[in-house]
Amino acid sequence: MKLSASTIATPTVTRRTFTIPEAAIIVGVGKSTLYEHVKNGDVPCVRLGRRVVIPAHVIESMLAPKDT
């Protein structure tokens, strides 16, 4: 059987983390605001060396409606 591009399934990749500038756009705040919240520990993040990323589930929880 000869393989071609049409016979090979391409996996769908879902992003699990976002950089702070990307997350700021998604959430609708400025980069400096989000950097400050990360620095204060208000927004959980993952540090990979010098790189800081925010998990997608954290962004989703930030955007979820809050019960009052």
The per-residue pLDDT for range 40-50, each reduced to its tens digit, is 999 999 999 99
Of the two residues 68 and 30, the one the predictor is more confident about is 30
| Whole-number pLDDT of residue 7 | 57
**What whole-number distance in Å separates Cα of residue 15 and Cα of residue 6?**
24
* pLDDT for 67: 79
pTM for the full predicted model: 0.75
DSSP H or E segment with residue 23 = helix 20-27
Does residue 4 carry a pLDDT above 60? no
Return mean pLDDT, the chain. 88
Element (H, E) at 36: helix 31-40
